[in-house]
Amino acid sequence: MAIASDHAGLEMKRRLLEAMEEWGYSVLDLGPHAEESVDYPDFAEAVAERVSRGQAKTGVLVCGTGAGMSIAANKFPGVRAAVLYDDFTARHVRMHNDANVAVFGARTMTAKAAVERLRIFLAEPFEKGRHARRVKKIGHIEKRLGLQA
Positions marked active-site: 63, 96
- Determine the Cα–Cα distance for residues 149 and 138; give it in Å rounded to an integer: 15
Residue 42 neighbours by CB under 8 Å, 6+ apart: none
- Determine the Cα–Cα distance for residues 67 and 107; give it in Å rounded to an integer: 11
Terminal C-alpha separation, the chain: 23
